[in-house]
A = this chain, B = another copy of it.
Amino acid sequence: MDSQVDLRSIARGTPGFSGADLANLVNEAALFAGRANRAIVTNDDMQEARDKVLMGVERRSVVLSELDRVNCAYHEAGHAVVAALLPKADPLHKVTIIPRGRAMGVTMQLPEADRHTYTKEYLETQVAVLMGGRAAEELFMNHMTSGASNDIERATDIAQHMVCEWGMSELGPLAFRKPGNTYEADRAHTLSEATAQRVDEEIRKVVMTAYDHARTIVERNRNSVESRAQALLDRESLEADEIKALLATAGARA
């Protein structure tokens, strides 16, 4: 039985938290303390450092138009509500509309423990969470934007792993590709058009089913998404406990 690399790395091309990452984390925390002229690294420094490492550096210099800002708030609120309501999703850690790295907003989930394997249900949930942003934009803003491009790419990647490597589709427990391997270059030649077509269909099925699921959840929980988006516009970032409180108030359900 095999252990998998961190799912986040599948889409982002970086491995999970390595020793070097930890060293980096402590170093960043020390820098936050230093900038505040404190000799002691506090818990808050560590948390700020963790968020920077996980979500990218804040870029407060980026000026968003009001429309972009509102759109982003609903987009992240969509991710967050789907993540909060689906039972198999990793717990929410933080939602923010402060630009970080190349992202305009971030919805951060943190698993309760290291994951070594992923179940089909967990992966379907993750794809639904990724679709929550686009679904919210459509329902609240009545448009679709290029802001979902990374969500779309990651959702497609997960679906492809499910179908082509993890045997989680109707095509059954067969491998259909293995990247970065010269030996595989040969096998690729025997992937017929007929098979490629079935692979495409199964990948499509995974993503479209998750999208429909996300859309249903966002529609059914309009008030929760609305209140959360407003809270983001007011306060820019929401921590896990604030999110839970908002959901309880709104009577949300998956």
Chain A interface (Cβ < 8 Å from any Cβ of B): 1-4, 13, 62-65, 68, 71-72, 75-76, 99, 102-105, 113-121, 123, 131, 133-134, 143-153, 155-157, 159-161, 164-168, 172-180, 182-197, 199-200, 203-204, 207-208, 211
Q: Which 10 A-B pairs give the minimum distances between C-beta atoms?
A: A192-B196, A192-B197, A156-B175, A117-B147, A179-B186, A1-B147, A117-B145, A1-B105, A1-B75, A2-B150
B194 touches A166 (CB 8 A): no
Q: Give A200 to B207 CA distance when docked, in angstroms.
A: 20
A1 touches B148 (CB 8 A): yes
Q: Give A159 to B68 CA distance when docked, in angstroms.
A: 22
B189 touches A177 (CB 8 A): yes
Q: Give A76 to B203 CA distance when docked, in angstroms.
A: 29
A68 touches B117 (CB 8 A): yes
Number of copies: 6
Question: Which residues of chain B have C-beta atoms less than 8 A from A144's C-beta?
Answer: 119-120, 166-168
Question: Which residues of chain B have C-beta atoms less than 8 A from A200's C-beta?
Answer: 190-192, 194-195
Q: Nearest chain B CB to A30's CB is how many angstroms away?
A: 26
> Contacts A103-B2, A177-B190, A191-B196; is A204 near B172 (CB within 8 Å)?
yes
Question: Which residues of chain B have C-beta atoms less than 8 A from A114's C-beta?
Answer: 63, 65
B145 touches A120 (CB 8 A): yes
Q: Nearest chain B CB to A66's CB is how many angstroms away?
A: 10
Which among A134, A146, A182, A185 has the greatest number of chain B C-beta atoms within 10 A?
A146
> Which B residue's beta carbon lies closest to that of A75?
B1
Question: Which residues of chain B have C-beta atoms less than 8 A from A113's C-beta?
Answer: 63, 65
A146 touches B118 (CB 8 A): yes
